[in-house]
Amino acid sequence: MRSRRPSRALMVGLMALSAVLAALPMRAGAETLLRTRLNADIRSTDPGTNRDANTDGVMAHIVEGLVAFRDDTSIGPMLAESWTISNEGKTYTFHLRQGVKFHNGADMTAADVVWSFKRWLDPATQWRCLSEFSANGIARIDKIEAPDAQTVVITLDQPTALFLPTIARPDCGQTAIVHRDSVGADGKWIAPVGTGPFKLGEWKRGQYVDLVRFDGYASRNEPRTGYTGNKTALVDRVRFNVIPDSSAAKAGLLSGSLDVISNLAIPDRDDLKARSDVQLSVTPALGLTGILFQTRDPLLKDVRIRRAIALCLDTPQIVDAVMQGTARPNNSALPIGSPFYGEVEAHGYTQNIAEAKKLLAQAGYHGQPIRMIANKRYAFVFDSAVLVQAMAQAVGINIDIEVLDWAAQLDRYNRGDYQSMAFVYSARLDPSLSFEMLTGPKATQPRKVWDNPEAQRMLQESMMIDDKAKRQKLFDELHRRFIDDVPMVVLFNGSEISALCKNVKGYAGWLFAQPRFWGVSVE
C-alpha cells in the first residue's frame, strides 16, 4: 500500500507550529537566551578602534588579550599563562595557554599574537591606543618575536610600569588577539574572530546585537574576576537590544521581554526597588562625570573664568540631586575607589559665590554666552549640565546647553571641537591611566583636556616607576595642579546600577561599569 504524502495544509500547519514553539520561553533542551539592553548601538565590531563604552562592553564577550584586569584592578593572566620581565624591565616573555581556539576552530599560537600586535601597531588600523606606544607614549615596541608556537617576546625601548595595564585596557580593545580571518585580503576589517566565550552572531544595526555561545571555548580555572578567571558561558545566546528610552527598557523588564537592564536610570531604580519580581545590583564604579573646558577657546582660555565656574558650583548638591545616594562628590581625576585616592585627592572646590564673582570681574566677563554640549543617552550627564547651568546663572555666567546624540558628541570630543561639554569617561583601572585620559598635547591629541607640559612630564614619570610611595607623591602633585589649572570640573564617579529578573543567576557588577554575561544563567 502506497503511503500518502502530507497535505499542503498540514505542512503549513506544522511549519506554523514550529515557529510558535521556537518563540516560547526556553526550556530544558532548547536554546537558552538572555536578553539585555543597550542604551545606544555599538559603533563597530572592531575593538579598540571605532569604539565607545557600549562597544567595549559587547566586544569584551568576544575577544580577549594576553592579560586582563581583575576585580581589584590588578593585572591577571588571560591568554598568557604566565610571563617574565627581563632586560632591566624592557623585555616581556609571554608563555601562552595551550588548547585555546579561535571561533573558526583554529588553534591560537604565538604567530597569531605577533600578527595581532603588528596589526594594532599599524597606523592604518587607527588603534585608539597607538599613541601610547609612540615617541611620546609610555614606550615604543621595538620587537615582537615568536621563538616557538607557545612563546611571544615583546621588547620595549624603555622600561615602563604601564605596559601590562595598557594592553589590558578595555578601551584599547584589550589589545585583543584575533585570527587573521577577521580581516579581508585587502586588510579591511570584516568581523571579530576571537577567543572569547561568545562569538558574534547577528548585528542588526539600530536594533540588536546577538552573541552566540562558543562551544569550543577554553576557560581559565580561577574564579571569575574582572575580565579574567572562569568565563564559561552558561546561556546559548545573549541579545543586546538597542533601547535608547529608559522607560521603554523598564517596561520591557516588567513585561518579561528583557532579563537584564544595565546603566539603569536613577528614577527607574527607585521605581523598581519595591518590586518582589526584580533584583537590583548597585556597584561603585570608576567612571568619571564632569564638565570639560576647551582651554584654547578665546573665552575659556582665561583660567579665572574656568575657576569661577568651578567655585559657583555646589558639587555635593549636584551629586545628591542627580545620583540620589548612589555616588559621592569627587573633584579629583582619581576615582574614589582607587587605592591612590587619599587625603590630598579629597580636597577640591568649595562653593564660594563671592570669589567667583570677583574672578569674573577681574577677567572682564560680561555675560558672553558659553555653549555647553550634553547628551540624553546618559541622563545623569544631562541632569548635571542643567544644574551647572542654573548655578552658573546665579553668578552671571551665561551657559547655553546644546543637546547632541552621543555619537555626534563623541566625535566633537575627539576633535576637541567644543567650548564646554558635560561628559562621561569610562573607567581607567590604573591611576596613571586616569590622568592619561585627560592629559596630553592638544596639537597631536585634540581629545585631551589638560595640556600642561609639566603635568605630562610628571605623568610620564608615574608610568615608569613601580614604587607605590613615589607614585603617590606624583599623583598628589598632579591633583593639586589639576585643581589649580581647572581644565575641567570633575563632579563624581558613577555606579553600575542594573536591574534583573529574579530568574537571572550569577550576575555581579564590578568597578568597571560594564556587564559581564559569562557565568550568568537564566532559570
- Residue 17 covered by a domain: no
Distances in whole angstroms, Cα of residue 209 to Cα of each of 44, 329, 376, 518, 521: 11, 35, 22, 16, 19
Give the whole-number percent of the chain exceeding pLDDT 90: 79
d(CA 415, CA 447): 6
Q: What's the pLDDT score for residue 298?
A: 97
Q: Are 112 and 129 contained in the same domain?
A: yes
Q: Are 213 and 86 contained in the same domain?
A: no
The rounded Cα 227 to chain-centroid distance in angstroms is 12
The overall average pLDDT reported for the chain is: 92
d(CA 389, CA 331): 18
Tell me the H-state helices in 178-233: none
Q: Are 470 and 355 contained in the same domain?
A: yes
Nearest to 232 by CA among 222, 213, 219, 215: 219
Mean pLDDT calculated for residue range 234-239: 98
Tell me the H-state helices in 428-495: 431-436, 453-464, 468-485
Nearest to 231 by CA among 191, 194, 198: 198
Model pTM score: 0.76
Q: Are 463 and 326 contained in the same domain?
A: yes
Q: Are 364 and 510 contained in the same domain?
A: no
Q: What is the DSSP string of 139-152?
A: --EEEEEEEETTEE
**Tens-place pLDDT, residues 350-409:** 999 999 999 999 999 999 999 999 999 888 999 999 999 999 999 999 999 999 999 899
Nearest to 192 by CA among 38, 64, 23: 64
The residue among 210 and 426 whose pLDDT is bigger is 210
Checking if the pLDDT of 18 tops 80, the result is no
Q: What's the pLDDT score for residue 16?
A: 36
- Residue 273 covered by a domain: yes
Q: Are 152 and 246 contained in the same domain?
A: no
Q: Are 341 and 477 contained in the same domain?
A: yes
**Tens-place pLDDT, residues 47-77:** 999 999 899 999 999 999 999 999 888 899 9
Distances in whole angstroms, Cα of residue 460 to Cα of each of 166, 168, 456, 466, 478: 13, 19, 6, 12, 11
Q: Are 264 and 293 contained in the same domain?
A: no
What's the domain count of the chain?
A: 3
* Confidence class for position 521, pLDDT limits 50, 70, 90: very high
Neighbours of 480 (CB within 10 A): 13
- Residue 11 covered by a domain: no
**Tens-place pLDDT, residues 89-126:** 999 999 999 999 999 999 999 999 999 999 999 999 99
Mean pLDDT calculated for residue range 316-330: 93
Checking if the pLDDT of 10 tops 60, the result is no
Neighbours of 370 (CB within 10 A): 20
Nearest to 494 by CA among 303, 262, 312: 262
Q: Are 240 and 129 contained in the same domain?
A: no
Task: Give the residue numbers spanning the domain of 420.
Answer: 288-493
* Confidence class for position 29, pLDDT limits 50, 70, 90: low
- Residue 300 covered by a domain: yes
Checking if the pLDDT of 174 tops 50, the result is yes
Q: Are 257 and 148 contained in the same domain?
A: no
**Tens-place pLDDT, residues 447-497:** 999 999 999 999 989 988 888 899 999 999 999 999 999 999 999 998 888
- Residue 191 covered by a domain: no
Q: What is the CATH number of the domain that holds 231?
A: 3.40.190.10
Checking if the pLDDT of 193 tops 70, the result is yes
Q: Are 501 and 485 contained in the same domain?
A: no
